[in-house]
Structure 1
Amino acid sequence: MNAPIVIGVSPFADRRPVVSWAANEAVLRGRAVRLVHVCQELQWFGTSGVDALFGPRVQGEQVLREVEAAVRAAHPALEVTCGIADGDPAEVLVEESRAAELVVVGTHDQGRFADLVLGSVSRELVRRSAAPVITVPNLERPCVDGPVVVGVDGTEVSQEALRFALTEASRTGRRLYAVHCWPTPLDRAERSLVRDEECRVLAEALAGVSEEFPDVYVIPVLSGGDPAEELVWRSRDASMVVLGSRCRGALAAVVLGSVGRDVLRHASCPVAVVCPQDARVAPNSGRRVTSRDGDRSRSRPAGRRS
């Protein structure tokens, strides 16, 4: 089976935008969908007996049934599988990423999935995921026809993000904005020299891969300023913003620092964080994930596919 699109399913009502976006993406890509829910034991703190033992699992199964039914109703021909696990959301999704096309999570979830996207756990998922991680904001009317925007800094990781963005633009017939930012020098005389050098960096980065996608209209963007502000501003009219997960310089702060959380929190479109091809994934934890396929139930270690 082709690698599925894995969706981190929140127990909260605002999961609809992320599930809808990911299901539509799966249809466009010809991929299956895998719905993954991580039980949230903290919701049951202070309870005892049967509720404390089985409450999170019962709630999680109900959430998955509701989401699965909604996806099947919207896309009857789409292949859908489900998985449920206990533990840390990042660890579970890192394991699931081993055999995934994409890992998709929401940015406006509550509880532990909010920590996954907006807190320190997000850096662990982005750093170790074996598949691109896409965060989807809670927007009722996303700009589905907007251009693709990619952050470029000339590094190898940035080139992988650029290739991902070009592929996305080619697949959807959209324009691509290649954005390169740098700190503006205080010395006015130095600004012109720095701009010329940064222009060369962007041109060389584009020359390396853009010729492979002659059907994509690429618009280079040079900006002396804060990369997060530039990317958030451009996300208003974009269908997707793409970043590399191990960039250096200004873009490193976007992906790995507090500025990155601002981009994920305030971006008006899905944000794809592309990991290097040699991304490290921790050894299989052996965590048991209960998977449902139609009327059959089975358990298997996270990260493996039947």
Structure 2
Amino acid sequence: MNTRSRLGGQRVVLEVRSGDPSIHLVDASTGVGLLVIGAGGGGSTVRRVLRHAHCPVVVVRPSRPGRDAPLAGHVVVGVDGSPAARGAVEFAFAYAAEHHFPLAAVHVSAESRDDYFYDETTLSTHFATEPHALGLLAEEVEPWALKYPSVAIRRAVMTGSVAQGLTRAGTGARLLVIGDKRRGMVSRARTGDIPRTVSADAPCSVAAVPLGRPEGEPL
């Protein structure tokens, strides 16, 4: 009722379905721009929807306090130069521009011994020697910075594993956006299912932007 009162009855459709919620949610994701689900207990429904949805999925959870965190209040997006990450960057810039939020582009590097930050608005640096990863961030962000000039941008390099670095970057964030490469079961077993791990552990809502689903993989 709150949604209808805010958006108007003509813009809201209510459907009640029985059966496995993950199957119905994946089916509902066909041909739509965004699917929003609650984090719940982070169980099988969230895992299956993240793995098989045909559109970006936002897993909503309350943000944990993080006002003193370096990227608090930002739309945080993971960047690694891959096609999946580029889709996430596009999504994050559009979201930040629409809602007038600042954006933080984050790369996670196992080679770094500490976290590094660069603020493009104040041109302030927070490190002694610029790491190579900041060059990657600048290259990946530049086209979208030109398209969305109103978005204030920070660049950050986090240390540790990808899942740990992104989860830490999400402290106090408005939204954490990650690309989903939709790798097969063998690849996920070897290197971990990052979208699932981040959506379960992040201290904020997470948007997973899919690259594509492997053909023939069962739900």
Give the TM-score range, shorter chain. 0.7 to 0.9
Aligned to 1:125: 49
Q: Note the C-alpha offset of 1:222.
A: 1.3
Matched-pair contact (CA < 8 Å) for 1:95–1:281:
no
Distance in 1 of aligned mates of 2:137 and 2:112: 18
- Residue from 92, 114, 135 that aligns with 2:43: 114
1:105 alignment counterpart: 37
Q: Deviations over 1:186-206 (max 9, x none)?
A: 9xxxxxxxx744233222211
Q: Normalising to structure 1: TM-score of the pair?
A: 0.53
Structure 1 residue matching 2:30: 3-state secondary structure:
helix
**Equivalent residues in 2 for 1:1-306, closer than 5 Å:** 69-72=1-4, 75=6, 77-78=8-9, 79-109=11-41, 114-117=43-46, 122=47, 124-138=48-62, 146-184=73-111, 196-246=131-181, 257=192, 260-276=195-211
Structure richer in helix, relative to its length: 1
Q: Counterparts of 2:112 and 2:63 in 1: how far apart (Å)? A: 37
For residues 261 and 127 of structure 1, the distance between their equivalents in structure 2, rounded to whole angstroms, comes to 8
Give, in angstroms, the shift of residue 234 of structure 1.
2.9
Distance (Å, rounded) in 2 between the aligned partners of 1:201 and 1:157 = 15
Aligned-partner Cα distance in 2 for 1:140–1:268: 5
Larger Rg: 1
> Could you say what secondary structure the match of 1:82 adopts?
coil
Question: What is the Cα deviation at residue 217 of structure 1?
Answer: 1.2
- Counterpart CA distance in 2 for 1:106 and 1:262 is 15
Measure the CA separation in 1 of the matches of 2:36 and 2:66. Answer: 16
Looking at structure 2, the residues matched to 77 and 126 of structure 1 have their Cα atoms a distance apart, in angstroms, of 29
The one-letter amino acid paired with 2:54 is A
Note if contact 2:88-2:177 (Cα within 8 Å) is conserved in structure 1: yes
**Which secondary structure state, in structure 2, belongs to the residue aligned with residue 165 of structure 1?**
helix
Asked if structure 2 preserves the Cα contact closer than 8 Å seen for 1:179 and 1:223, the reply is yes
Q: Greater relative contact order (Cα 8 A, min sep 6): structure 1 or 2?
A: 2
Residue ranges of structure 1 left out of the alignment (5+ in a row): 1-68, 187-194, 283-306
How far did residue 262 of structure 1 move? 3.9
Residues 239 and 125 of structure 1: CA distance in aligned 2, closer, same or farther (over 3 Å): same
Please state whether the residue corresponding to 1:215 is helix, strand or coil.
coil
75-84 or 205-214: bigger deviation: 75-84
Please tell me the root mean square deviation across aligned C-alpha atoms, in Å.
3.3
With over 3 angstroms needed to count, the CA separation of the structure-2 counterparts of 1:133 and 1:281, relative to structure 1, is farther
Deviation at 1:139, TM superposition (A): 5.8
Q: Indicate the percent of aligned positions where both proteins have the same amino acid.
A: 27
Q: Tell me by how many angstroms 1:151 deviates.
A: 0.4
Seen in structure 2, the aligned counterparts of structure 1 residues 265 and 128 have a Cα distance that, compared at 3 Å, is closer
